[in-house]
Amino acid sequence: DTAVSQTPKYLVTQMGNDKSIKCEQNLGHDTMYWYKQDSKKFLKIMFSYNNKELIINETVPNRFSPKSPDKAHLNLHINSLELGDSAVYFCASRLAGSQYFGPGTRLLVL
């Protein structure tokens, strides 16, 4: 199926650990994004890559590092996880102005 996919869907981990979330899109889009959705359902952009190049880097702690090995993949690595990192993280890709979201990764930091 053509889609934006993310793994894992759920991630439960201890404070201080390092974890990665993977995102892949087979839609042929050039631009990909990471968003964070907090407990109040507010979606906020974190990063964007266009053809493997970083184009948006919002005010995000440098514990978060995106990596784009190719234009179909955008992974998110988080170091030294903190309680406040608990949220749902969405990957998205963009074509002609509209963005298509992955299913989300629910991260819970204990």
Partner 1 sequence: EDKVVQSPLSLVVHEGDTVTLNCSYEVTNFRSLLWYKQEKKAPTFLFMLTSSGIEKKSGRLSSILDKKELFSILNITATQTGDSAIYLCAVDPGSSNTGKLIFGQGTTLQVKP
Q: Which is nearer to partner 1, 8 or 16 (CB)?
A: 8
Query: Would you count residue 25 as binding partner 1 (CB under 8 A)?
Result: no
Q: Which residue has the tokens 């201080």?
A: 16
Q: For residue 53, count CB atoms less than 10 angstroms from its CB and return exposed for 0-12, middle for 13-18, buried for 19 or more.
A: exposed
User: In this structure, which amino acid lies at residue 108?
Assistant: L
Minimum distance of partner 1 from residue 51's CB (angstroms): 12
Helices (runs of H) and strands (runs of E) counted in the chain: 0, 11
Per-residue binder mask for partner 1 (CB under 8 A), 1-20, x = binder: ---x----------------
Residues at the site binding partner 1, with contacts judged by CB under 8 A: 4, 31, 33, 40-45, 48, 50, 55-56, 90, 94, 97-104
